[in-house]
Amino acid sequence: MINKKPTFIDLFSGAGGLTEGFLNAGFKCLACFENWEPAILTHNHNYPNIKLITKDIRKLNKKDLISNKIKKVDVIIGGPPCQGFSTIGKRKNNDFRNSLIYEFARIVNLLKPKIFLMENVRGLMSPKMNNIRSNFIKKLNNFGYTNIISSTLCAADYGVPQLRYRVFFLGTKMKKEIAFPAKTHSEENYEKIENFIRDLEKDTKKLSNHIPMKHNEIVKKRISFIPEGSGITKKIPKKYLKGSRSDFQNNSIKNFSHIYKRLHYKKPSTTMVPGHNAFPLHPKLDRSLTVREAARIQSIPDKIKFFGTRQDQCILVGNAVPVLMAKKIALNIKKQL
């Protein structure tokens, strides 16, 4: 008897971090759901054989799913847009994107999978988000998913060279105990980014999305004063701490900006968060990371190509669930199925 692959759909699939992880764990993808143009282009190039449904999820109904031959699925996964919950900037209770986690719950109710997995920023666990979080769980409880666990997981604990913390919700109607995978790494043996990106120092042509930013001379000089593993320091001459653009010349460069944090080869990176078209600084070179280097730190394989403007590509990579982490969660879900 041949065992069939367990099936899944990926809501808000973005660059496909969760999708790739589940595929690598031996799942079959019935469809992905995404309506942001750069993500659509990225999906169609990288996963031409996986159906992509681009309809606004708020308008998606049972008839749409049936017409796309999605009647039954083992697992529903997804990471709804999280800007309303983010710890960067102000959290807004009235941000319409906050309601998209309820849409996730609604699709779970329409298809009634055996297990669901939802990923989001840890800001969702803040006291300000208590009502949104409890209403989300309450909806799922009413749909019969009374066995739900949640946890804030660090990607570095699963072999990803990045101190990235995200909250995951795992739920099922099954009565048996469910769990997240055991950690495979700890602070003593976290992966170093050196093992993931050092070979890219000299290779700027062969790989897609590996185009260094063209920083102006003031910015390059400013970066040159920042030591490996450090940020803006008092050693930088004041003339290099003013904005280099004509509309920004009277503004001082602030040390809190991750853009001026230089990574350390012998350590995991900070969270890959794109800002102003740029990721954190390269450990050795006087520039920010390329999109490809950031993707490597996200454990996204080189075969995956990203589309859109540079900012779009940065957002696609920065929002993705690290593939290696996704795979380990998927393997654990596979056992529980």
CA distance 241 to 232: 9
Count other C-beta atoms under 10 Å from residue 301's C-beta.
12
Catalytic residue chosen out of the listed positions 29, 32, 82, 154: 82
Contacts of 164 (CB under 8 A, 6+ apart): 154, 155, 156, 271, 272, 322
Point out which residues pair with 242 in neighbouring strands.
Answer: 252
Q: Which residue in 111, 21, 109, 124 sits closest to 332, CA to CA?
A: 21
Q: Specify whether the CB–CB gap between 64 and 55 falls below 8 A.
A: yes
Residue 248's contacts (CB-CB under 8 Å, 6 or more residues apart) are: none
Alpha carbons within 13 A on the beta-carbon side of 149: 13
DSSP string, 241-259: SB--STTSTTPBPPTT-GG
Q: Taking a C-beta distance cutoff of 8 angstroms, is the pair 268, 163 a contact?
A: yes
Q: Tell me how far apart the alpha carbons of residues 272 and 131 are, in angstroms, rounded to a whole number.
A: 28
Question: Whole-angstrom Cα distance, residue 89 to residue 275?
Answer: 12
Establish whether 154 is a catalytic residue.
no
- What is the set of active-site residues? 82
